[in-house]
Every structure is written in C-alpha cells, then in structure tokens.
C-alpha cells in the first residue's frame, strides 16, 4: 500500500516544468492565505486582549482616584447613621432652648418678654413619619411613635410666630442649622405684616431623625401661646 505522500511525489514527477511552477504558485498562495488568516485572527485576539487590559487599567486608575472620596462618604454616612441611632433629642425642647437664648431686636406687640420664646407657640404634638428609603419623595403615612421597631422616624414640630422681626427669624433659622443637636428646618411659611414690613407672620417646621422604637423623653413646652 502506497502512502499518500508517495502518490503526491509520483504525481509531481509526472508534471511538466510549467505545471510544477503553477503548482508551486498555487501552494504558495494557499500557504500565504493560511498565514494571513492566522495573522489576522491572532491580531484580532491580541488586539481585543490589549483593549481589555487598557480598559481595566483605566478603570483601576479611576477607582484609585475615587477611593479617598468613597472612604470619606462612607465615613460620613456611618457618622450620620450613628448620630441618628444615638439621637435622643426632643425637637420641641431643643427648639425652645434656642428661642430662650435669643433676644428680640425690636418690640413685638403682645410679647410677654424680650425673648423669641415669648412670641412663639407650639403645636400640641409632633408629627412622626417613618422614612422610606429607595423611593424618591414617597413616605408612609404618619404612625404613632414607638409602636414599631427598626427604621428611621422623622419627628417634626411646627412653631408659629404671629409676629416676629425678620432679622430675628433669620437668626433663629441659622441657629437651628448650626445647632449641635440633630435639627433641621424642613419648612418655612412667612408673610410680611402689612402695618410693619420689618416684621413677619411665620410658621417654621423643625425636624430631627431618630431610630424607630427608641424611647424619647418629651418635655412639655416651656412657653404658652401668647
């Protein structure tokens, strides 16, 4: 039995010189095509690998650049969570403490004294709203404080100023925002007094955040409605 390469050798030996040249050219073309296909395939593979490596390097560089900011935000978030978890602030008492420290810069008709606490009235109770994360602008209906555990409560207190100097109101808002307690101004509704443009009638809503189910001692209002 003859081997295949022996048949090929015999076939080539029977070819004319011209046929051998044509066969050689054809073989060279086939080898060249195979080499070209192999080179193109390997170039595509290695090109994709190089692009992936370059992309990974860029991502790593961006991550390294963002890492300090991410750590800073993580630390800030943890600090806020710890502050809320340990918060025992009574929003009414904290607001009234600020009001009692501030003197009126102008005389207010009907005031029982010269402090902001002498011209403000409090609503009878706070509004406690469970905060729902992950759904923008959506909150559950208000529920009684302390009936559930887990989650965060937004505790709001309305303060009504029948008349207050604008300067004093702005100073009070600034004091709330700078307070060491976890206090925030969440709503302000003010209108100038017709007979005195330097004074306004205002309703201010102040809020704090607490862990649901944590017991908070609410002290009675230190002032009565004028």
Q: What is the pLDDT of residues 173-220, one digit of tens each?
A: 999 988 888 888 999 999 988 888 889 999 999 998 888 754 444 444
Residue 62 pLDDT: 85
CATH annotation of 88-211: 3.30.70
When pLDDT is cut at 50, 70 and 90, the band that residue 135 belongs to is low
pLDDT band at 106 (very low <50, low <70, confident <90, very high): confident
Q: Name which of 222, 205, 225, 212 is nearest 126 in CA terms.
A: 205
CB 199 within 8 A of CB 106: yes
Domain ranges of the chain: 4-82, 88-211
pLDDT of the residue at 7: 64
99 or 136: which leads in pLDDT: 99
Per-residue pLDDT, 204: 92
Number of neighbours of residue 118 by Cβ within 10 angstroms: 17
* pLDDT band with cut points at 50, 70 and 90 for residue 78: confident
Percent of the chain at pLDDT > 70 equals: 78
The distance from CA 201 to its chain's CA centroid, rounded to whole angstroms, is 35
Burial class from Cβ neighbours inside 10 Å (0-12, 13-18, 19+) for residue 176 reads buried
Average pLDDT taken over every residue of the chain: 78
Partnered with residue 121 across adjacent β-strands are: 160
Residues in the chain: 226
In angstroms, rounded to a whole number, what is the distance separating the alpha carbons of residues 183 and 88?
A: 11
Q: How confident is the model at residue 171 (pLDDT cuts 50, 70, 90)?
A: very high
């Amino acid at each position: 039995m003859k081997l295949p390469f022996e048949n090929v050798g015999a076939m080539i030996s029977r070819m004319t010189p011209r046929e051998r040249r044509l066969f050689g050219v054809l073989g060279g073309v086939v080898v060249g095509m195979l080499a070209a296909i192999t080179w193109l395939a390997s170039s595509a593979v290695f090109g994709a690998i190089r692009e992936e490596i370059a992309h990974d390097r860029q991502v790593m560089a961006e991550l390294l650049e963002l890492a300090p900011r991410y750590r800073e935000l993580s630390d800030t978030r943890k600090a806020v969570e710890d502050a809320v978890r340990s918060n025992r602030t009574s929003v009414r008492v904290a607001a009234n403490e600020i009001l009692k420290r501030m003197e009126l810069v102008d005389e207010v008709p009907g005031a029982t004294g010269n402090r902001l606490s002498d011209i403000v009235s409090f609503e009878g109770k706070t509004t406690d709203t469970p905060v729902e994360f992950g759904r923008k602008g959506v909150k559950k209906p208000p529920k009684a404080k302390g009936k559930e555990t887990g989650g965060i409560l937004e505790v709001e207190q309305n303060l009504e100023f029948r008349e207050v100097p604008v300067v004093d109101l702005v100073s009070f808002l600034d004091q709330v925002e700078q307070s060491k307690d976890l206090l925030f101004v969440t709503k302000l509704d003010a209108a100038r007094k017709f007979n005195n443009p330097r004074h306004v009638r205002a309703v201010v809503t102040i809020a704090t955040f607490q862990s649901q189910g944590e017991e908070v001692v609410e002290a009675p209002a230190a002032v009565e409605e004028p």
